[in-house]
A and B are shown apart, each in its own frame.
Chain A
């Protein structure tokens, strides 16, 4: 039962719970990071095969790991990095404007 797919889903829900309950904006961005990484885990284990090899088709290679999810996740990691950087930039501006990181006070 403990495989990458299930743990990915559990981590996804933990991240969602974090966003719902946290009032601190930095903690919200951290929860977002957890959600993003859970997606990466989900996709990578989706193409995983036990004893599979890298998808370079020389002679003797029989079982290969599916390369498409991995390439998709490369794109997704880059986008997620960009999102996190932007979110933290906005938080710096927010802190300069309001002097607090609490969602309830910022409004």
Chain B
């Protein structure tokens, strides 16, 4: 029983998805389907608790086909995969509870595709085979293309189509890189690939890693490849946005980490990644300047936070990777919470334009959870974002320019979240009666409160999480770590945060005053349509190849 747990994680949502569709053919009531989905999304908690006891004995491997090792289809659970599996199960479960009230009149279709997407997400983190990564990624994204179209019809269709084109290009680049790896080594298993990668000559490694960079860059929304993310994440229904922004984007980074562990011998690979990450962190915040739509703002901030994570991973030092993984977990929690908050506001007001919200204090719990999430994403001390952000900033100690860019990105983050806070909550609409708003239903509040609680819990006792989850995950990548004792109330850190907050509020004031320049920026940003971005992507590929060939 115990040794079959990894496969149960995959099978449970898959089979219950099948059952849900079969039921939806015969009956029209949604109740049974929702109960089945609820059970199959809560069972992984049980599996993961049992797996955690197993994991203390070492890495768990599960051979599916019964073949011997290098050719087998394996599921591997190491500490990194485990940490991401836990956060996946939490976010998918809570988003589903939220969707019970929020997504009505969709029948069994929503449950089916949601379960399929969950299967794909578990599969990505579980598999030990580079081709199966592709298969599970396609499973995830195909179901998310469909889930996006459950949103507002006119805008979401085009967003879904853009996502489909970009996602397919990413998959083809990924396959091309897999093909090149297979020509040179004849292997697909990630563990065996990492032993044999040094045999590949430098020229081929260059091409392979550039192709991986494009493929995973699209999946992780690094800046020249980010065109699909904003429209896709903002037009999807809010619970789906929470999963897309919380988990699905992170799969790109996860595959990045796995590819990095192959241990290639290229020069300047880390510097390229750090530069791209810093560009992403700053670019995401700049894109958010022009937006008045709450979900588009949050989507741009996803890009910005992905930049932070990429910088952390790109250093490939123990502290950087620890910060990166911790930020992946934290970002899943607080960005999921922010999208759920946005969903609640849109549920009551019916509009996503922050200038027309003005809900005041009529929704107190939404207000409190929003404030917690906003403080966490800005990196203010008692909350979880502060821990991971300071770890990432410590890891780029040798690159002062990158540190400066990250500080600028933090200032922008503070400015935008106080913008949402000011317009949505403080400023009241004169022509509207604020009393007609009321708190959202109970089943929508529960996930928000739990996620807000997690934000505080991950921030107040960071050392417990670091010691038990994050540092073992780091050691499973680079094979060893130094113990990081994080000091919670560091006076210097708090002073720095205060300055960032003050500068952020000044920046907000500047944005409001200089709205004409913002309009000019908007016309500039709107010029980047799909075709131009794919062209830019090709240019970036050539550019990266040139950098690699010059330095190797």
Q: How far is B179's CA from A69's CA once the two chains are assembled, in angstroms?
A: 8
When C-beta atoms are compared, the residue in chain B nearest to A104 turns out to be: B529
Q: Is A90 an interface residue (CB 8 A)?
A: yes
**A39→B169 contact, CB < 8 A:** no
- Pick from B164, B530, B534: contact of A87, CB below 8 A: B164
Contacts of B164 in A (CB 8 A): 83, 86-87, 90
- Pick from B145, B161, B529, B535: contact of A94, CB below 8 A: B161
**B158→A106 contact, CB < 8 A:** yes
Q: How far is B116's CA from A92's CA once the two chains are assembled, in angstroms?
A: 24
Q: How far is B168's CA from A69's CA once the two chains are assembled, in angstroms?
A: 20
- Pick from B135, B160, B534: contact of A79, CB below 8 A: B135
Q: How far is B530's CA from A69's CA once the two chains are assembled, in angstroms?
A: 32
Within B487-516, the residues touching A (CB, 8 Å) are none
When C-beta atoms are compared, the residue in chain B nearest to A71 turns out to be: B131
- Pick from B71, B135, B188, B534: contact of A75, CB below 8 A: B135
**A16→B538 contact, CB < 8 A:** yes
Q: How far is B165's CA from A36's CA once the two chains are assembled, in angstroms?
A: 12
**B146→A86 contact, CB < 8 A:** yes
| Given contacts A79-B138, A82-B142, A19 and B169 within 8 Å (CB-CB) | yes
Within B114-171, the residues touching A (CB, 8 Å) are 131, 134-135, 138, 142, 145-146, 149, 153-154, 157-158, 160-161, 164-165, 168-169
- For chain A, the bracket of interface size reads 35 or more
Of the candidates B154, B165, B183, the one having the most CB atoms from chain A within 10 angstroms of its own CB is B165
**B161→A91 contact, CB < 8 A:** yes
**B165→A19 contact, CB < 8 A:** yes
Q: Is B465 an interface residue (CB 8 A)?
A: no
Q: Is A7 an interface residue (CB 8 A)?
A: no
Minimum Cβ distance to chain A for residue B193 (Å): 14
When C-beta atoms are compared, the residue in chain A nearest to B526 turns out to be: A107
Q: Is A20 an interface residue (CB 8 A)?
A: yes
Contacts of A65 in B (CB 8 A): none
Contacts of A22 in B (CB 8 A): 531
Q: Tell me the interface secondary structure of chain A in the complex.
A: helix
Q: How far is B90's CA from A77's CA once the two chains are assembled, in angstroms?
A: 34
| Given contacts A20-B531, A72-B131, A93 and B165 within 8 Å (CB-CB) | no
Q: Is A25 an interface residue (CB 8 A)?
A: yes
Contacts of A98 in B (CB 8 A): 154
Within A40-83, the residues touching B (CB, 8 Å) are 42-43, 46, 68-69, 72, 75-76, 79, 82-83
Contacts of A28 in B (CB 8 A): 165
| Given contacts A20-B531, A39-B175, A103-B531, A97 and B145 within 8 Å (CB-CB) | no
When C-beta atoms are compared, the residue in chain A nearest to B163 turns out to be: A90
CB-based A-B contact count at 8 angstroms: 85
- Pick from B157, B169, B176, B529: contact of A93, CB below 8 A: B157
Minimum Cβ distance to chain A for residue B175 (Å): 5
**A103→B142 contact, CB < 8 A:** no
When C-beta atoms are compared, the residue in chain B nearest to A43 turns out to be: B179
- For chain B, the bracket of interface size reads 20 to 34
Minimum Cβ distance to chain A for residue B142 (Å): 6
**B183→A103 contact, CB < 8 A:** no
| Given contacts A86-B146, A97-B153, A97-B154, A46 and B183 within 8 Å (CB-CB) | yes
When C-beta atoms are compared, the residue in chain B nearest to A107 turns out to be: B158
**A20→B538 contact, CB < 8 A:** yes
Within A8-27, the residues touching B (CB, 8 Å) are 12, 16, 19-23, 25
**B157→A97 contact, CB < 8 A:** yes
| Given contacts A16-B534, A20-B531, A93 and B183 within 8 Å (CB-CB) | no
Q: How far is B169's CA from A19's CA once the two chains are assembled, in angstroms?
A: 9
Within B448-496, the residues touching A (CB, 8 Å) are none
| Given contacts A20-B534, A72-B131, A42 and B176 within 8 Å (CB-CB) | yes
Minimum Cβ distance to chain B for residue A81 (Å): 11
**B175→A76 contact, CB < 8 A:** yes
Q: How far is B129's CA from A75's CA once the two chains are assembled, in angstroms?
A: 14
Minimum Cβ distance to chain A for residue B205 (Å): 17
Minimum Cβ distance to chain B for residue A77 (Å): 12
**B538→A94 contact, CB < 8 A:** no
Q: Is B347 an interface residue (CB 8 A)?
A: no
Q: How far is B538's CA from A75's CA once the two chains are assembled, in angstroms?
A: 27
Q: Is B172 an interface residue (CB 8 A)?
A: yes
**A86→B531 contact, CB < 8 A:** no
Contacts of A91 in B (CB 8 A): 161
Chain B residues packing against A (C-beta within 8 Å)? 71, 131, 134-135, 138, 142, 145-146, 149, 153-154, 157-158, 160-161, 164-165, 168-169, 172, 175-176, 179, 182-183, 188, 529-531, 534-535, 538
Closest 9 CB pairs of A and B: A79-B138, A20-B535, A35-B172, A39-B175, A20-B534, A90-B161, A94-B157, A93-B157, A32-B168
Q: Can you list 26 A-B contacts with CB-CB less than 8 angstroms, sorted by A residue number?
A: A12-B176, A16-B169, A19-B534, A20-B538, A21-B531, A39-B179, A43-B175, A43-B179, A46-B182, A68-B182, A69-B179, A69-B182, A75-B135, A82-B142, A83-B164, A83-B168, A87-B161, A87-B164, A90-B145, A90-B157, A90-B161, A90-B164, A93-B149, A94-B158, A94-B161, A97-B153
**Given contact pairs A94-B161, A104-B529, a sample of 13 additional A-B residue pairs in the complex whose CB atoms are under 8 Å apart:** A19-B534, A20-B534, A32-B165, A35-B168, A39-B175, A43-B175, A76-B134, A83-B164, A90-B157, A97-B153, A103-B531, A106-B158, A107-B158
